[in-house]
Amino acid sequence: MQISANNPNRKSWLPVSEGSDFPIQNIPFGVFITRDDIITIGTRIGEYVIDLGAFHQLGYFKGIPLTDDMFMQDSLNDFISDGRKTWRLVRNRIADVFDAKNPALRDELKHRDIIIFNINEVEMLLPINVGDYTDFYSSKEHATNVGLMFRGKENALMPNWLHVPVGYHGRASSIIVSGTNIRRPYGQTLPLGEENPIFGPSKKVDMELEMAFITTDANNLGEPIPVDEASEYIFGMVLFNDWSARDIQKWEYVPLGPFMGKNFASTISPWIVTMDALEPFRCESPKKEIKPLPYLQQKRKDTSFDIKLQAYLNTGNGEENLLTETNFKYMYWSMSQQLAHHTVNGCNVRAGDLMGSGTISGPTKDSFGSMLELTWGGKEPIILEDGSSRTFFNDGDIVSLTGYCSKDNVRIGFGNCTGKLLPPVKYKFPI
């Protein structure tokens, strides 16, 4: 089925400002609560959100086999579970109805009042019910940088890294939507030169600039997904900040890996940009240094995406400090390879599962995806616009991730992925 929604020449009758992340070629999906306290599934064009529940009830999806309540839910899980054919039909229809040449809704003012809201009139919610969350470790530059800091040049990459997409099972319950504040976490740390740990608030709260993909129902228990079929089971992508407490993580990660240093919060952007919308921005992944095993070998070459990524820090004074600029195309392991590896042992994947890319770092220092790398473990502080400095984040700091693709005068963006770090809670019991 043709992806007519991607036509770069298409214009919408809704106004879209130049440089917007959400032209009519995007049509992402999200969940929001309206001014009447109704939770609904919707999409976005420019600064407007479209209530797809009302859109459906008023007949604009006529001819597309959808349940009556498909878009009148508090998550996208059921819609995602319906599969690629439905996603494409729905997205194409939305593009047709909002095309500048189509008067069907454009001239129906009563319907427009019911269906269309300004973005400032709604509150964005978590778009999916995250059943499971896996975080990969698939940036060679990031893995190398961390290895250099902690193991030295000779052992920077672990022996398995070039053979297997490394990952760990994270905590789904603490995945939060952009705009949600987080608390500085408590935990055990081992002060430098000491033999015994102490307990208290983390002193090294960090970001990890990542992206994440969301799956549909992909396989039954015991049935692996072939790598060349894996992309069919990926619905879309979001920006992802995997907040990390580096001092807690350092003490706990041997022998079983990330736990308390990671599970306190992970922030995602509210709009899921579909893989169909990203199709024009495919590019090649980095060349493999070692030929992977057959189940990870892909036939097509353009297995990555040219997505420009930025991270900003606002200290509360209104000034945005650019921390880093990187690109998703640097990822060594593709999403299809990650999903194929995830299921090769028979692990089943369901609609709404979320897979983090791992920190995305580029080849130069200004493209590193974490404060751990940008300050080289805290040894090289970043000087901000107001003259202050950071090695890791202070209470009150606001961290924002952005990302977009650009080609043929079309920009497809993800909006913002923002979180504010608050002081730790005050415990009422001895710690």
Active site positions, annotated: 142
Q: Any idea what DSSP says for residue 398?
A: E
Cis peptide bond prior to 165, omega within 30° of 0: no
- Report the distance separating Cα 105 and Cα 10, nearest Å: 16
Q: Are 278 and 319 in contact (CB under 8 A)?
A: no
Helix or strand holding residue 332 (H, E): none
Cα–Cα dist 377/340, whole Å? 33
Q: How many residues belong to the chain?
A: 431
Q: b/e for 235-273, b at 16 or more Cβ within 10 A? A: bbbbbbbbbbbbbbbebbbeeeebebbbbbbbbbbbbbb
DSSP states of 225-255: PPTTTGGGGEEEEEEEE--EEHHHHHHH-TT
Residue-wise over 113-133: b if at least 16 C-beta within 10 A, else e? eebbbeeeebebbbbbebebb
Q: What is d(CA 35, CA 85) in angstroms, rounded to the nearest whole number?
A: 32
Cα 416-421-427 angle, rounded to 5 deg: 145
Nearest to 266 by CA among 288, 287, 293, 238: 238
Alpha-carbon span 129 to 302, nearest angstrom: 30
For 33, how many CA atoms within 13 A lie in the half-sphere containing its CB?
A: 5
